[in-house]
Amino acid sequence: MADSTATSFNWQSAINETFTDFSQQLINYFPQLIGTVGVLLLGWLVANTLSLSTRKLIQGLDVLFAKFTRIDGINQERIKGSYSVIISKIVFWVVMIFFLTVAANILGCLGRIRRLARQYCQLSSRADFRTYYYPERLPA
């Protein structure tokens, strides 16, 4: 009979090595996570500030223009309020998309996304694209 200790797998050392590798990777990645969270919090703060400033500026301009023009009806008032909110939300999300891009770049996700996009473009430009996705259209 063969020696069972020579051929047996040592589960305890394998689990210890796996845990050690995982904890080392987490420790190495932790500064990037902290930086990303900081950038996202800063982005949210800047986006909220610019959004609020934009809304107040538009509402102030509406009051100024109302002094020079005569506005009749309640519907005009609702429209004024709604477009200031819409514009302020657009400003908020444009700023947040900028900061999300920076955060993804810090984490290193942008390189992966670009590689996937490149692979998709290569796949879609192939001559056999339709036969790959639509095999039922092949002649019998």
Q: How far apart are CA 24 and CA 8, in angstroms?
A: 27
Q: What pLDDT is recorded for position 4? A: 52
The full set of domain ranges for the chain reads 23-107, 109-140
8 A C-beta contact, residue 56 and residue 23: no
Q: How far apart are CA 101 and CA 40, in angstroms?
A: 10
The model's pLDDT over 28-74, given as tens digits with 9 standing for 90+, comes to: 888 888 999 999 999 999 999 999 999 999 888 877 777 777 655 55
Mean pLDDT of the chain, nearest integer: 78
Q: What pLDDT is recorded for position 90? A: 93
Percentage of the residues of the chain whose pLDDT score is greater than 70: 72
Phi, psi of 128 (to 5 degrees): -95, 20
8 A C-beta contact, residue 110 and residue 103: no
8 A C-beta contact, residue 53 and residue 92: no
